[in-house]
Structure 1
Amino acid sequence: MTTPIPSIDLIDALTQEYIDKSPSEILELALNQEGEIAISFSGAEDVVLIDMAYRLRKPFRVFSLDTGRLHPETYQFIDAVRKFYKIEIEICSPEAKPLQELVTTKGFFSFFEDGHSECCGIRKVQPLRKKLATLDGWITGQRKDQSPTRNDIPVIQFDAGFSGPNKQLIKYNPLANWSSADVWSYIRMMEIPYNPLHEKGFISIGCEPCTRPVLPNQHEREGRWWWEEATHKECGLHAGNLK
């Protein structure tokens, strides 16, 4: 049974109602929403969401951003998940023209000199915006403990960053209150696929040039854009987290 797309006022009420609900309950609410809803998939948290959705036995969609600069292991991981759950994964790629202009004028590694936002904007944000324009809601694997920019993310929110003048987009974060330990306990318990890079010290995995393993006791996001301030470590997909 589907439920109508909630208004902004109703979103606030649902956020309070579901603040202490389990990820599976939040995910079920999302999958019951009317309209087009999809899970954004790239990492360990997102596979947990896919597994939960699979076990709820409800129809669900999955999309993934191919920036063109992912690790080979990440491409293999995406394919492993597709085969494991026997699902389609909608691949979103950057537009050729702006990407070509960037690498022609600035080269392949301009982000080390002037920050990652321009490259991420072309390779990630623009493809995401194009995909979200076709959806009424999306489901993410964000957690509050992932970085300083995510401390206050709610389990359900109005996505002002990607909503349009004639369409409001709902964003569900079922794992907001989970820790990394919770995610990995679930992965081990349910024996579901994960990126083999995790076995090499990678925790938060993005594009190959901008991701590196972390040392013991380092925070997971220290392996992403390590040359920048910790409070700036959002690629634009969740820009609303930046204050």
Structure 2
Amino acid sequence: MSAALPLSPQPFPALPAAGQAPSAELLAHLAAESQRLESATPDEIVAWAHQCFAPGLAMGTAFGPEGCLMLSLLPTLAPTTYVFNLDTGYQFQQTLDLRDRIAAKYGVEVEMLQPELSVPEYEAKHGGPLYTSNPDQCCHDRKIKVLQRAAVGRTAWMSGIRRDQSPVRAKQPIVAWDRKFGLVKISPLANATKQSVWTRILREEVPYNPLHDEGYPSVGCWPCTQKADGEGDERAGRWVGKQKTECGLHTLEADGSGI
């Protein structure tokens, strides 16, 4: 376990109240901290996030390799972190089983947050599976809206995205204000590589989704996930045949805020 990165000597500006815009002082501080953390290890960044934002710190995970690695760090570095999964109703059984394997090994319980409508109710409302005709709306209703509810009462959230996963994620700051969810967003693995993540997973025997061994470089909802090479764009197996590579949680808006 790495030692915690010392906090900035500058006092942390006040976070905005729910629904309010962040101050220029806060945005500048987050940018400075993000730059300072560029040379930090993932362990140090997770510990820093806990120092700064607990008990309001949360983590979202889809149980990808990066998320599983971060979950393995929480018991020692950020034990009070609230962890959630956006359970769309379309996840692979292997993904759901992985939640139990993580809990058994690390004692980390991941809450499965579900949309207001069940899959049958949702498909009945739209005259069938919406992921076939309007996947953007499906992701918005069954992921974005759910995270907006989960953000209430939180101060910051961590994600496991890496910059080298896709062009869309290449500019992800380590720390930034997430405008859509009204939280500070922290990406401890932004500077990590696929090789470094998998080396550590195998060395430390971190549980991971067996679908990766079957040719799935990235695992999301089963209707929108296929096997793919994964040597180039790791998102290649997602939404095949559509002009879409992201669900919308991690795309960057014009002002640089992650959603």
Q: TM-score range by the shorter chain?
A: 0.7 to 0.9
Normalising by structure 1, we get a TM-score of 0.88
Alignment partner of 2:39: what SS?
A: coil
Residues 106 and 239 of structure 1: is their aligned pair in 2 closer, same or farther, counting only changes over 3 Å?
farther
Alignment partner of 2:176: what SS?
A: strand
Normalising by structure 2, we get a TM-score of 0.83
Alignment partner of 2:252: what SS?
A: helix
Matching residue of 1:38: 58
1:198 is aligned, of 209, 212, 220, to 212
Matching residue of 1:19: 38
- After superposition, where does 1:115-130 map in structure 2 within 5 Å? 116-130=135-149
2:239 is aligned, of 211, 225, 234, to 225
Task: Using the TM superposition, give the Cα deviation of residue 58 of structure 1 relative to its aligned residue in structure 2, in angstroms.
Answer: 3.9
1:210 aligns to 2:210 (yes or no): no
CA–CA distance in 1 between the matches of 2:231 and 2:161?
A: 21
Q: Deviations over 1:58-100 (max 9, x none)?
A: 4322111111010011110111111211122121101128972
2:168 is aligned, of 145, 149, 157, to 149
Bigger relative contact order, structure 1 or 2, given CA contacts below 8 A and separation 6+? 1
Task: Using the TM superposition, give the Cα deviation of residue 150 of structure 1 relative to its aligned residue in structure 2, in angstroms.
Answer: 0.6
Query: Can you give the 5+ residue segments of structure 1 that lack an aligned partner in the other structure?
Result: 164-168
1:170 is aligned, of 184, 193, 196, to 184
Contact 1:156 1:170 in 2 (8 A): yes
Alignment partner of 1:19: what SS?
A: helix
Task: Tell me the number of residue pairs that the alignment of Structure 1 and Structure 2 aligns.
Answer: 234
Alignment partner of 2:160: what SS?
A: coil
Query: Can you give the 5+ residue segments of structure 2 that lack an aligned partner in the other structure?
Result: 16-25
- Judge which range, 98-107 or 4-13, deviates more: 98-107
Residues 12 and 182 of structure 1: is their aligned pair in 2 closer, same or farther, counting only changes over 3 Å?
same
Residues 131 and 184 of structure 1: is their aligned pair in 2 closer, same or farther, counting only changes over 3 Å?
same
Aligned residues: CA RMSD: 2.4
1:235 is aligned, of 247, 250, 253, to 247
1:100 aligns to 2:112 (yes or no): no
